[in-house]
Amino acid sequence: MDKLISHFGGNRTMAYIAIALFLIGLLIFIVNSVILIASPEGAFRTLRTILKGGTDLFWVAAAVLGTKYYPTKRNKILVWTLIWYMLGDIEVMFSYPVGAVLYCMGHLLLMGAILETAYVHKWQIVALILCCLGAITVLMCFADDPLLKVAGSIYAVIVTSTMVLSLTNRFFWLAGIVFFVSDITGLLRISLANNKYTYLITTSIYFLAFLMLCISVYSTNRKEVVTIYDLFRMLSDSKSRKVSFWVCGKWALGLIRGDRHFSYERIELAYDVDHVDEFLAWIRRARYEREHRYAEGVRSYYSEKYGELWIYPCLFEPDGSAMLTTKNGTQLLLDEGFFEDVRVFWKTIPCIAPGGTELIRDLL
């Protein structure tokens, strides 16, 4: 409970409202399930559709409330993911094909949220290709309708891709597997035994995954990659706060040589020690948490919004030169040749190139 309250900046009322929304949604789901089992087959269809939408609505409202205090890109994508799932959850009561299209939109957005948070490793790309080929092969062997083969193959690729990509992330792997199980059981239900009991099983599995995604916006789900778009947002945010810094390290080297690999495990910045108060105020505003201290004041921070950050103090002298403290604590003297503004996608990124531009050109 204390962790939830801290998520809302110490606001107990908001934390209790979030819990109430989740519990009301769960209660509605239980009532809906009781009505389904206790009533004749196909009865109270409109009422159950309303109740089903009510569960989704309360849980999505709780998720939106959570993203208000942690408006990360991942959480924004997750909210739209949940909205598409909610629409698909209602539409599938009337039309399976339309519901499947809406679910597909949710799956695609979920993949976007996963890719925003974590790297995709080579073994996952191989697994993704093999799973997609396997799903298509099964459909080709067992389906007779050509339209079903095409539509089913597209849907199978999206579903299996979501599951494989979800393995990248500490949290999404479980939700991805549950969604995959939900789709498989739903397919079996439609093909073999479409009744209220199998329907309850499939919807319960689906709602479990849906609930997990709603709760995930409250999790400290570590962002393991920093992209060029994160860097652009950092620059825009810092300029609005009148804070200046320079990109250094791998990012600077890559940008100066025109490298198109615009994602790294962390971002390294140098700041002007004469304006350290303004810079640290911006660090706090971006909800960076200090992890540990390196030698000579070089520090490591982490933010759900921007990922991992290493910062290096840079002292500017009256003659225009500067002294940069490196990771191992040595003092590196910088002149004008170390500073360069790099244009990327019509954006200007201020960079420090340790060793000077000429030395870097020789090394590369």
What is the pTM (predicted TM-score) of this model? 0.59
Please, is 341 exposed, middle or buried when counting C-beta atoms within 10 Å of its C-beta (0-12, 13-18, 19+)? Answer: exposed
Under CATH, what is the fold of the domain 226-363? Beta Polymerase; domain 2 (3.30.460)
Backbone dihedral angles phi then psi of residue 250, each to the nearest 5 degrees: -60, -40
Reported as a single tens digit per residue, the pLDDT across 67-104 is 877 666 778 888 888 889 888 888 877 887 788 788 88
Count the Cβ atoms, other than its own, within 10 Å of residue 126: 11
Give the pLDDT score at 9: 67
Give the pLDDT score at 12: 82
Report whether pLDDT(24) > 90. Answer: yes
Report whether pLDDT(17) > 80. Answer: yes
Q: Please give the average per-residue pLDDT across 212-230, as a whole number.
A: 74
Reported as a single tens digit per residue, the pLDDT across 120-167 is 667 777 877 887 787 777 767 766 777 777 777 787 788 777 777 776
Q: Which residues contact 178 (CB under 8 A, 6 or more apart)?
A: 205, 208, 209, 212
Give the pLDDT score at 283: 81
Q: Please give the average per-residue pLDDT across 239-264, as a whole number.
A: 75
Give the pLDDT score at 234: 82
Q: Mean pLDDT score of the chain, rounded to an integer?
A: 77
